[in-house]
């Protein structure tokens, strides 16, 4: 009897949480955002840097291609190819609290870079067109360990419309953004390093 009452209470608490507009709207907006990206699964798109500075010189004059390559109901893997550099994959995952963005960095032999799987979780509901990912503690620790103290306030952003997908990194004195044209699918790039 006692267990039944506890279970009923937990059930009511869950229902009341789901009924709260902010929680329900959060999941709805984030699910819609995730679904919009997933709708391009199997396709690749060319991009261009639309804001940046001297720190982004590695991207100058190189082909930039994103590939929505691996898709499940809870995770998207999106390699970001910079010329002949196939080291970067964005990993977007659904969590009970929202969405998580991680950056999977590999060497050409497939081994993990010392600076990898960094990123963060959404801190608010965002919208069905834009989500932001403030840096998490594990990423801060990794950056400090590897001498990247300028990156400890990073916030990453992803945005999508019917025609453009944007990836953006912001922090003090830094605003790097790449826009990808979703209206013109491109030939598929090579397999990203460390993936099958």
Residue pLDDT, tens place only, 29-42: 999 999 999 999 99
Kindly report the pTM of this predicted structure. 0.85
- pLDDT beyond 80 at 49: yes
Residue 12, pLDDT above cutoff 50:
no
Backbone angles phi, psi at 124, to 5 degrees: -145, 180
The residues facing 65 across adjacent strands are 46, 81
Distance of alpha carbon 18 from its chain centroid, rounded?
25
Instruction: Name the more confident of 134 and 19.
Output: 134
Interatomic CA distance for residues 115 and 117, integer angstroms: 7
What pLDDT, on a 0 to 100 scale, did the predictor assign at position 21?
47
CATH code for the structural domain at 2-186 = 2.40.128.20
Sequence-ordered strand ranges (E) for the chain: 44-51, 64-67, 70-71, 75-82, 85-95, 98-105, 118-121, 130-134, 155-160, 164-171, 174-186
Residue 91 CA to residue 7 CA, distance in Å, equals: 35
């Amino acid at each position: 009897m006692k267990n039944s009452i506890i279970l009923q209470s937990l059930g009511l608490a869950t229902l009341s949480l789901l009924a709260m507009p902010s929680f329900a709207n959060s999941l709805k907006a984030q699910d819609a955002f995730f679904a919009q990206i997933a709708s391009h699964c199997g396709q690749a798109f060319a991009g261009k840097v639309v804001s940046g500075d001297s720190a982004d010189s590695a991207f100058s004059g190189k082909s930039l291609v994103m590939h929505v390559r691996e898709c499940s109901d809870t995770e998207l893997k999106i390699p970001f190819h910079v010329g002949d550099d196939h080291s970067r994959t964005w990993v977007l995952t659904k969590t009970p609290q929202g969405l998580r963005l991680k950056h999977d960095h590999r060497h050409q032999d497939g081994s993990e870079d010392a600076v990898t799987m960094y990123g963060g979780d959404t801190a608010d509901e965002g919208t069905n067109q834009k989500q932001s990912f403030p840096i998490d503690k594990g990423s801060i620790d990794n950056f400090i360990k590897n001498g990247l103290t300028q990156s400890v306030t990073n916030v990453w952003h992803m945005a999508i419309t019917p025609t453009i997908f944007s990836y953006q990194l912001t922090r003090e004195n830094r605003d790097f953004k790449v826009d990808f044209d979703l209206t013109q699918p491109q030939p598929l790039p090579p397999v990203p390093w460390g993936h099958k």
